[in-house]
Amino acid sequence: MNCRKFLDITADYPVIFFDSYGVLRNHRGLIPGAVETIASLRAAGKHIRVLTNNAARNPKAAADRLAYHGLPGIPASEIITSGATTRHFLEQKVKSGKVAYLGTPASADYIIGAGLEAVPVAEVDFNHLDDIRAVAFLDDEGYDMNTDVNLVINLLRRCRVPVVVANTDLLYPVAANEVALATGSIARLAEYVLGRKFVKFGKPTSQMFQMGLDSVALEFSAVSPGDILMVGDTLHTDILGGNTFGVATALVLSGNTRADTAEIEIEASGIIPDYICSSIGS
């Protein structure tokens, strides 16, 4: 497996899309060299965006989180979240009523906008379901895995309403070699059991990539997918999404994909990045 130096790869791309967790930071904190790398890209005139499947935080909160970990130079205007794409869908498609959700109140406040009432699945009145207009899988915390997943399955058996998934990640890391089920896994389980298809947001779907491109176009009007390098640590979200959208992709081995299994995972999945790097700092 041929690992390239990250800054050498970026030379040909005026726009860099970064995933956040596993790329800019991981369970140990900020990726070593991340601050210097971002500074070098800024000095070279690169346009930077962060595309994150974390639906629990709005862009400002995500920027504050990066600053807390030691990377203050990325403003909210450069962060695209899966929550933003989900919020846009709900604003366009669901005009009134209640949205039952799995997730935290903070994610519901951000994603489920004005004109709609956000109701945790655990508080839904099953005797009065006529005012439920949508169901949302928002993030990985804020609900009881043993009871609330069963509640949402039974709710969806009785309600034929749109179902949105704000975070399609299947797993999220909780320690160096440990992971937990993420929202995307719970949503897939519900889809399988119910025989339904939900509306999904976040990588690998195209909405976030399009929002990122549209955002860059405000300052670089001639931008096209060929100008963009997507940098991620997960084959099935970052790399697959980037490949599908037509941008170049770089897999880093500082997060979900480990150096000792990367080659096997690429071969087994058929998801092939254009480049492989140890991290953005090397």
Could you list the pLDDT tens digit for every one of the 282 residues in the chain? 688 999 999 999 999 999 999 999 988 899 999 999 999 999 999 999 999 998 888 899 999 999 999 999 999 999 999 998 898 889 889 988 999 999 999 899 889 876 799 999 999 999 999 999 999 999 888 899 889 999 999 999 999 999 999 988 887 766 667 777 888 999 999 999 999 999 999 999 999 999 999 999 999 999 999 999 999 999 999 999 999 999 999 999 998 898 999 999 999 999 999 999 999 999
Q: Count of alpha carbons within 13 Å of 152, Cβ hemisphere only?
A: 30
In order of 99, 102, 144, 185, 209, the CA distances from 202 in angstroms are 19, 16, 23, 14, 9
The pLDDT value recorded for residue 175 is 66
Which CATH class name applies to 6-53+204-277?
alpha beta
The pLDDT value recorded for residue 2 is 80
Q: What is the DSSP letter of 44?
A: T
Buried b (16+ CB within 10 A) or exposed e, 101-135: bbbbebbbebbbeeebebbbbeebeeeeeeebbbb
Q: What is the DSSP letter of 258?
A: -
CA–CA separation, 176 vs 198, rounded Å?
Answer: 32
Amino acid (1-letter code) at residue 20: S
Which CATH class name applies to 84-200?
alpha beta
The pLDDT value recorded for residue 32 is 96
- Token look-up 């919020």 returns 87
Structural tokens at position 87:
């919020």
Task: Give CATH 3.40.50.1000 domain extents, the chain.
Answer: 6-53+204-277, 84-200
Three-class secondary structure of residue 75 per DSSP: coil
State pTM to two decimals.
0.89
Three-class secondary structure of residue 71 per DSSP: coil
